[in-house]
Chain A
Amino acid sequence: MRQSRILSFFRAKEAGLVAVILVLGLLLTVFGGTVQRKVRDPKTGAVVSMVETNKFLQRQNLDIIFKHSSWTAIMAVGATALIISGGIDLSIGSIYCLAAVTGAMFLRWLGPEGPYPSASAAWVVPLGIIVTLLMGSLCGLANGLMIVGLRVHPFIVTLGTMSVFRGIAFVTTRAQAITDYPPEFGHFFRHTVFDFTLVPIVMVLLVAAAGSVFLRHTVTGRYVYAVGGSETASLFSGISVGRIRVAVFTIAGLAGGIAAIICLGIYGSADSSTGRSYELDVIAAAVVGGASLSGGRGSAIGAVLGALVIQLISNGILILGIDQNYTEIIKGAVIILAVVLDQLGASLNRRRLLKT
């Protein structure tokens, strides 16, 4: 039994994605070339010598990849749950922005420049995190309630809230960047171990694990797959389809809130243009990660791997010295290619099954 589970993982599409990531990494290591890296004295910070290192396979570069894919990965886990249920969320970039701005304003209010400069960071920071998460979830809940309650297609509702949520952020910030919150917040998130920014990486792993447990090991998770597979059959099985749909939209919003926390920590500021067009990266990551837009298929691990693949492509263009202006073209082509290959694989698989 255990062995068959390991075997089935290698047959699963996550294994294919891991292979793609390894191959991409190998190609970039071989063809990326080398770069001169400064070695500093740990005490004085003065440059002691120069060392030649691989351009791709070095700690700083890998850290950038992990850090920069972390918020996409987290939101992609939420979006994957949503896409599995047959939904879609175009407003996720705006939810991310509104949650970040709300969190930032709250933290500034309790921060050193606010009316309560003596407030202790020990409870200000957790409170800020909660407020940010709450804002994300509320936005998702609003999406879900409108879609189910008003019976409007998710594409339309979230297209609308995409601009409503960002508009709220714009009005409340008066188009200003919100900074000046407790420095402990940024320190915590920017803390590095062996040059790796630890907190975002750990958060991605936690979210992936939580998403995986939710989708595979909870009743609601199983219902999510059922609703996406067939809404009618789910209804005939006694599933409260509406409740499940509201729940996944809320989860997608919550993921937006979690990603917003990283944004606050890493960048130290938020404004109303934060996370513009992120929704497309997020949906792309989910789809490359194996979520089917027709519903019923996808996984949390796949979403994280999908986000990594997309980040690797951007990074590869940089490493290989390809003209930056081509980034968008290459990224778009790769997304289409990934889905075409996936469908090809699925139809081959079906044919194999029919033969036996």
Chain B
Amino acid sequence: MTAPILQFRGITKHFPGVTALADVSFDIAPGECHAIVGENGAGKSTLGKIVSGIHRADGGRILLRGREVAFRTPREATDAGVKVVHQELAFCPNLSVAENLCLGDMPRSRGRLCWRAMGERARKMLGQVGLDVDPWTVMGSLSTGQEQLAQIAAAVGGEADIIIMDEPTSSLSQAEAEKLFTLIEALNRDGITILYVSHRLEEIMRLTERVTVLRDGQYVETLVTSQTTTDEIVRLMIGRSVEDYFPEHVDRPPAEALLAVKGLTSPGKFRDVSFTIRSGEIVGLAGLVGAGRSEVARAIFGIDSFTEGSIDFGGRPLAIRSPRDAISQGIGLLPEDRKRQGLVLSMTCRENVSLSLLRRLKRLHLLDHRRDRALAEEYFDRLNVRAPDVDADIATLSGGNQQKLALAKWLAQQCRVLILDEPTRGVDIGAKVEIHSLIDRLATQGHGILLISSELPEILNLSTRIIVLADGHITGELARQEADQASLMRLMMNVNA
């Protein structure tokens, strides 16, 4: 075997509250197409970001052609021949396609921009990926798929030895993806190394030579693609022992239906989504990133509108036009993005807890600060929040404590239906255990809970039953007894293996 072009040696990366990568080591051979797979949060994207200079590793070494490198900026990585196609689109939408493609290195002649050279170069780059648009079109007017192809063009067009593709097909149509696959095969023939980060197994089986599996930030195994099966990869991806920190599950007798969603449809996001949440039930909503889980939650909570379908609450049809309507009916949503949607970071803990029920804390038209404080203190106690005091700025708390307070907001509201979107994302293990047992306790008390989570063990161990979404529609519903990681994963990827 030839000397590896890229070597990872003990790569470690921590983010506040979580370890994204722990001591990851493996090699990439020159000219191969190497897949990196894993569940959401396994550390695949983080690894790609470290190689391309967006993040810096906390520990470990990266060797490029045998020489140690530590890129501090994406520019340094690009100069060394490492290019990346990001999952999130990274373009200036106000500039033209040509300007975006040449952004790092605008062609100049005698100090002035050379528009003609720019146009020619862009046309050539677009030709390579088979994207048929005028280079002077404004970037923002392209479709997501076209934009993604343009980004691939930007990476391919330069002189790259290694191209990292992070979920390159996530917003491509079947035909566009097909073009991309042909391109990848051509690049491979030209001796360019490709790191293919994805959780779409069919693509991996078709394109790659080897597959490296990551799980919870740890290296699991590298397999030769032709000698393995999708089943084996799935098994390795989810193969952790079921954590024993989940609360004992008690099956409760079915109670009255609280929330019934019927035929909910919003074009481009989800279609014909129907389910019921009963009192005392935790309904898991599983699906890959982009399957439409959060979008369904936002529609129920009145943030986004939907074109068809209805929502019944306690047997009565509900007209929810804003979150305020939803809250007044007793529905609470713990949003997926705690820092942007869940909390007002410029405020104190106390102000955040009472934000959604201030109207009830009035005395003679003025805020009753005593009750406001008492409320926050009560939830500090009940949820075991670790912070100096209730007047501490919420931004100074750890992720886990912040999340407890984001939850406290809805508990204080006495919401009967709680939609929890990734309740333990970016939360340390201790707080995670506490949040899990809290969720279970809430169900026991008669709340109805819709649990959205990308962590399969969390869904499997907490839910009474599990609904699976893929590409915006329900692909299956599993009772607690019949659900396991493999069956869920198959439904999530919508493969009937």
* A interface list, Cβ under 8 A from B: 213, 216-219, 221-223, 225-226, 228-230, 232-240, 295-297, 353-354
**Is the CB of B345 closer than 8 A to any CB of chain A?**
yes
**Complex alpha-carbon distance, A323 and B358, angstroms:** 53
CB < 8 Å neighbour of B335 from A225, A236, A295: A236
Cβ contacts under 8 Å, A216 to chain B: 367
Chain B 284-338 residues near chain A, CB threshold 8 A: 301, 303, 322-324, 326-328, 333, 335
CB distance from B399 to the nearest CB of A (A): 15
Q: Cβ of A353 and Cβ of B393 under 8 Å apart?
A: yes
Query: Chain B, 345-381, contact with A by CB distance < 8 Å: what is the 0/1 string?
Result: 1110001000110110110011101000000000000
Chain B residue, CB-CB nearest to A243? B324
Q: Cβ of B356 and Cβ of A238 under 8 Å apart?
A: yes
CB distance from A237 to the nearest CB of B (A): 4
Cβ contacts under 8 Å, A229 to chain B: 344-347
Chain B residue, CB-CB nearest to A227? B344
With contacts A226-B347, A353-B396 taken as known, whether A232 is within 8 angstroms of B340 at the C-beta atoms is yes
With contacts A218-B366, A218-B367, A232-B340 taken as known, whether A237 is within 8 angstroms of B347 at the C-beta atoms is no
**Is the CB of B343 closer than 8 A to any CB of chain A?**
yes
Q: Cβ of A219 and Cβ of B341 under 8 Å apart?
A: no
Chain A residue, CB-CB nearest to B324? A238
Q: Cβ of A296 and Cβ of B366 under 8 Å apart?
A: no
**Is the CB of B83 closer than 8 A to any CB of chain A?**
no
Cβ contacts under 8 Å, B359 to chain A: 219
CB distance from A38 to the nearest CB of B (A): 50
Chain A residue, CB-CB nearest to B326? A238
CB distance from A300 to the nearest CB of B (A): 15
- What 6 pairs across the A-B complex have the smallest Cβ distances? A296-B346, A229-B346, A229-B344, A238-B327, A238-B324, A237-B356
Interface centre among B342, B343, B347, B409 (most CB of A within 10 A): B347
**Complex alpha-carbon distance, A222 and B348, angstroms:** 11
Q: Cβ of A230 and Cβ of B326 under 8 Å apart?
A: no
Q: Cβ of A226 and Cβ of B344 under 8 Å apart?
A: yes
CB distance from A141 to the nearest CB of B (A): 22
Q: Cβ of B340 and Cβ of A230 under 8 Å apart?
A: yes
Q: Cβ of B324 and Cβ of A354 under 8 Å apart?
A: no
28 sample A-B contacts, Cβ–Cβ < 8 Å, listed by A number: A216-B367, A218-B366, A219-B358, A221-B367, A222-B351, A222-B355, A223-B358, A225-B351, A226-B347, A229-B346, A230-B340, A230-B344, A230-B345, A233-B340, A233-B341, A233-B342, A233-B344, A236-B303, A236-B335, A238-B322, A238-B323, A238-B324, A238-B327, A238-B328, A239-B324, A239-B355, A239-B356, A295-B346
Cβ contacts under 8 Å, B409 to chain A: 237
Interface centre among B324, B369, B409 (most CB of A within 10 A): B324
**Complex alpha-carbon distance, A234 and B335, angstroms:** 12
CB < 8 Å neighbour of B347 from A221, A240, A296, A353: A296
Chain A residue, CB-CB nearest to B361? A219
Chain B residue, CB-CB nearest to A242? B322
With contacts A219-B362, A296-B347 taken as known, whether A240 is within 8 angstroms of B322 at the C-beta atoms is yes
Q: Cβ of A240 and Cβ of B324 under 8 Å apart?
A: yes
**Complex alpha-carbon distance, A223 and B324, angstroms:** 13
Chain A residue, CB-CB nearest to B362? A219
CB distance from A245 to the nearest CB of B (A): 15
**Complex alpha-carbon distance, A3 and B323, angstroms:** 39
**Complex alpha-carbon distance, A219 and B366, angstroms:** 7
Cβ contacts under 8 Å, B328 to chain A: 238
Chain B residue, CB-CB nearest to A226? B344
CB distance from B411 to the nearest CB of A (A): 14
Cβ contacts under 8 Å, A239 to chain B: 324, 355-356
With contacts A223-B358, A237-B356 taken as known, whether A213 is within 8 angstroms of B351 at the C-beta atoms is no
**Complex alpha-carbon distance, A45 and B342, angstroms:** 69
